[in-house]
Structure 1
């Protein structure tokens, strides 16, 4: 991020604009919405600039911008549409210690002005660092359509009511009051005018004051395989409300970014055969924060019900008498099999599929290898990187064909995902040679669809020869 977004206080401050044509007028349409003093320098001002000066909305100075003119200004905008003149304006601004922006010239600008959705006092700023202005305008248009026109009134009345809302304690209780106002009651009565909204605010405050302290709760949430777009709506809402997020090592950073900014973020990562947070410690953290009255989100990669030690955490939560809910996520097997264009089950091939783990706390896991070794069986093996040679040996020992297709998917659904097609007979050394760094899932009995087609094509060619 080259440009850090901020909202700058400009009330009663001077903003200088240099230019007298259409570019200057376009910039003024935004600047005149502020409470700043706008000073415009133009040698040949457009008639609309003269009119704005007469109306007292700007101060028009009919001469060239020169050294000393930026002194005391908050910002300088150059809009002459002449690169040499604009560069001189920037130099003058810098000489007075003022940051400058050149319209449509990112290289000369110290800052950029984003696309803005105005629901005063609610303002949404959209920036693309000059990379995609068309995209910024499209996002702006979408938000303009989504945000109701009376949102500004709700925010303005809410701001005036903030001192009264201080009767509620800081934290979740006060947050719940404002959420109730902005998303439930307020929008329903806004059409009836400001008096109706003010009456609603008073009634809501009384209701929340009388409701007493709310107990903490826990949401056991599946973060999915890593792609933020595969996160469920329910999981997204839980992250919006969380006071505390206790997350696993494999949860993607992009998903952690979706948590409420004020939430306490706790890394409770586990790593196979490496440093880990003990499960008892995780249980204790969940219970401690929930008993403090917090909304806790226990965020697990994939689906919490699949190899997620969910039962251990539920038992600790229930023993403490804490309310909880399970929010399922897309498990890695579902995301990975979609990525290779296959189905976990197929009519006349396999009527069942096994989800296996390569190891547990005691070491490598034993399974029903004899049944799995039969033709047509399919299994998704989680946490199988270190267990690959063990799995390979057990299956071959029980009669599985060395030619059985095997697919390894690293970082399923993510931008850095890798798909490695091999066979059971070559599972090792393929797994070791691949040098996998991220989480991997291994499909026994499935090949990527494109790879399967390539193999068939090669076979047909060899047969014709």
Structure 2
């Protein structure tokens, strides 16, 4: 992040704009939304600019600004649309320590002005580090359509009521109060009777929350999906946003954890096949302890919580402890990997069943019905099979599997660094060793990529 986003208090501060035409006009229109004192330096202002200045009693100085003029100014905008004039103004502003923005010149600017969605006092700023203003405007348009116009009145009433809300302790109880107001009772009151009764509604909501006492802790067991934040369910994202404590697996990427509240407590409980792992008893104890302290706990698992996620053990421990819990499913890695290679996991005339297998369990390599799996047309999605590849290959070949059976391995399915290895059973171990994937791998036995090989980025190609 090169440009750090902040919201600057401009009440009573002076902002200088230098320019005669459309660039200065655009900046003036934006800055008129603030409470700043605005001064425009324009030797020959065009008619539209002059009219806007007159309509809002903006100070107009019909000459170029000097360094003395700019001393003490909070912000300055060089908006001539002409390189030499902008450079001269910017140099004078910098000489007296004023932050300056040169319109359409990122390199010469000390700050950039983001695209803004205005629901005063709710303000959303959208920036792209100056790289893609068109993208920022598209995001702004999308948000403008989604955010109700009533958001402003709700926020204004809420802002005035904040001192009263301090009767509730900081943390979950206060957040629950504001969530009730902003997302349930407040919008209903605004729609039915109008803004004038919002304060009355706030007092009523506060009374109810004070009488309710301490909230009960609970645990949500949530599948985060294969790693792409866009493949999370809407419910999973809502729960992540509300959680006080997030107990997460190793396979949950930072891009998903960043969707949680900044104030949330994060507890990593990594598990890795044949590697260091957090004991399940410790995970259960952490969930129970935080829930008993009144926290909303999110047990966040990669993929789907019910597929090789030890869901039953955790649910049983929570039930025995008297903790309320619920399960939110997620997209499992098998589905994500099949989507990556463009294949169906089941196909009429090929396989009428699908095996979801783990390559190892708590006792080591896992045994399966190899003879059945080795039959022609069988399809299996094998989890945690990277280190067990030689074992899997040997068992299948020993039980009659054809060495030419296609095998596709997908590393980091759905993530930006996903990679694909298309091979066959008799070459599986050698090709996997040559590719040496470092991330989690899902093995699709009996499936080859649907797309032409040259269109797929493969592990072996990246090594060449």
TM over 0.5, shorter chain: yes
Matched with 2:423 is: 422
Matched with 2:319 is: 318
Shift of 1:54: 4.4
Q: Within the alignment, does 1:114 sit opposite 2:114 as a pair? A: yes
Q: Within the alignment, does 1:96 sit opposite 2:99 as a pair? A: no
User: TM-score, normalized by length of structure 1?
Assistant: 0.94
SS in 1 for 2:443: strand
Matched with 1:450 is: 451
CA–CA distance in structure 1, aligned partners of residues 66 and 371 of structure 2: 87
Matched with 1:246 is: 247
Matches within 5 A, 1:8-407: 8-55=8-55, 57-191=57-191, 192-407=193-408
CA contact (8 A) 1:358 1:364 kept: yes
CA–CA distance in structure 1, aligned partners of residues 242 and 101 of structure 2: 38
Per the alignment, do residues 34 and 402 of structure 1 end up closer, same or farther by CA in structure 2, a change over 3 Å counting? same
Shift of 1:445: 1.1
Per the alignment, do residues 453 and 58 of structure 1 end up closer, same or farther by CA in structure 2, a change over 3 Å counting? closer
CA contact (8 A) 1:118 1:124 kept: yes
User: TM-score, normalized by length of structure 2?
Assistant: 0.95
Shift of 1:281: 1.6
CA contact (8 A) 1:356 1:382 kept: yes
Shift of 1:45: 2.1
CA–CA distance in structure 2, aligned partners of residues 89 and 279 of structure 1: 65
Q: Any gaps of 5 or more consecutive residues in structure 1?
A: 455-465
CA contact (8 A) 1:269 1:277 kept: yes
CA–CA distance in structure 2, aligned partners of residues 290 and 155 of structure 1: 31
SS in 1 for 2:89: helix
CA–CA distance in structure 1, aligned partners of residues 138 and 66 of structure 2: 38
Q: Any gaps of 5 or more consecutive residues in structure 2?
A: 456-464
1:166-194 superposed Cα distances (whole Å, 9 cap, x missing partner):
11121111111111111111112214333
CA–CA distance in structure 2, aligned partners of residues 73 and 360 of structure 1: 67
Matched with 1:440 is: 441
Per the alignment, do residues 425 and 74 of structure 1 end up closer, same or farther by CA in structure 2, a change over 3 Å counting? same
Matched with 1:458 is: none
SS in 1 for 2:451: helix
Shift of 1:359: 1.1
1:78-110 superposed Cα distances (whole Å, 9 cap, x missing partner):
011111111111111111111100111112111
CA contact (8 A) 1:122 1:155 kept: yes
1:432-465 superposed Cα distances (whole Å, 9 cap, x missing partner):
11101110011111111235999xxxxxxxxxxx
Shift of 1:195: 2.2
SS in 1 for 2:86: helix
Per the alignment, do residues 452 and 351 of structure 1 end up closer, same or farther by CA in structure 2, a change over 3 Å counting? farther
The two structures, once aligned, show a CA RMSD in angstroms of 1.6
Shift of 1:272: 2.1
Shift of 1:348: 2.0
CA–CA distance in structure 2, aligned partners of residues 341 and 80 of structure 1: 53
CA–CA distance in structure 1, aligned partners of residues 122 and 453 of structure 2: 55
CA–CA distance in structure 1, aligned partners of residues 23 and 254 of structure 2: 40
CA–CA distance in structure 2, aligned partners of residues 90 and 156 of structure 1: 37
CA–CA distance in structure 2, aligned partners of residues 308 and 383 of structure 1: 12
Shift of 1:204: 1.2
CA–CA distance in structure 1, aligned partners of residues 291 and 98 of structure 2: 49
SS in 2 for 1:406: strand
CA contact (8 A) 1:224 1:301 kept: yes
Matched with 1:462 is: none
CA–CA distance in structure 2, aligned partners of residues 305 and 412 of structure 1: 18
CA–CA distance in structure 2, aligned partners of residues 451 and 380 of structure 1: 21
